[in-house]
């Protein structure tokens, strides 16, 4: 049940739902944890950038492979190559039960989550029959055999965790 609630909060954040007010801020990506989690140091208008603590952001609307799962390290590396040390905009919708901000990450006018799925580094988040907000990008990545979709039957992260547990 907690998984369902966490997914609904994340999905509503990605699709513009009314569960939470959107908070936007700009900053620099300082760290990539995995293919769908980054740390963003918010800009400071008072010149105190070094004192601002980075915000851990879980990208909503997608699910990247676990670090120890096939294509997991490639997904994290692709995200790092795209956004590390870059100035971005965060559209934060909520906070999950782990204290992570949930939202979307924008590099200029590009939704980084949409880019990750389009390049085959993540799945569009789905629940039941809902294909998620990036279903079109996933369909095109599958058809082109990009990234993790080059494998014959890539395993969804939730199924991987169910079989193997979390990565160490």
Residues assigned a catalytic role: 58, 66, 100
Q: Would you call 45 helix, strand, or coil by DSSP?
A: coil
CA pair distance 113, 14, nearest whole angstrom:
10
Residue in 99, 160, 156, 101 with CA at minimum distance from that of residue 124: 156
CA pair distance 101, 74, nearest whole angstrom:
23
| 8 Å CB contact between 107 and 88 | yes
| 8 Å CB contact between 13 and 93 | yes
Helix (H) or strand (E) holding 161: helix 157-164
Strands 62-63 and 123-124: antiparallel
CA pair distance 108, 105, nearest whole angstrom:
10
């Amino acid at each position: 049940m907690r998984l369902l609630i966490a997914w609904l909060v994340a999905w509503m954040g990605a699709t513009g739902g009314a569960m939470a007010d959107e908070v936007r801020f700009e900053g620099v990506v300082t760290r990539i944890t995995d293919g769908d989690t980054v740390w963003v140091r918010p800009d400071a208008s008072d010149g105190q950038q070094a004192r601002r603590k980075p915000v851990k952001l879980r990208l909503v609307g997608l699910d990247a492979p676990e670090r120890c799962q096939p294509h997991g390290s490639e997904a994290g590396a692709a995200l790092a190559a795209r956004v590390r040390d870059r100035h971005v905009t965060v559209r934060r919708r909520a906070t999950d039960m782990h204290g992570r901000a949930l939202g979307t990450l924008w590099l200029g006018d590009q939704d980084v989550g949409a880019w990750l799925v389009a390049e085959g580094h993540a799945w569009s988040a789905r629940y039941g029959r809902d294909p998620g907000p990036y279903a079109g990008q996933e369909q095109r990545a599958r058809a082109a055999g990009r990234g993790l979709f080059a494998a014959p039957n890539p395993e969804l992260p939730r199924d991987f965790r169910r079989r193997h547990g979390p990565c160490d």
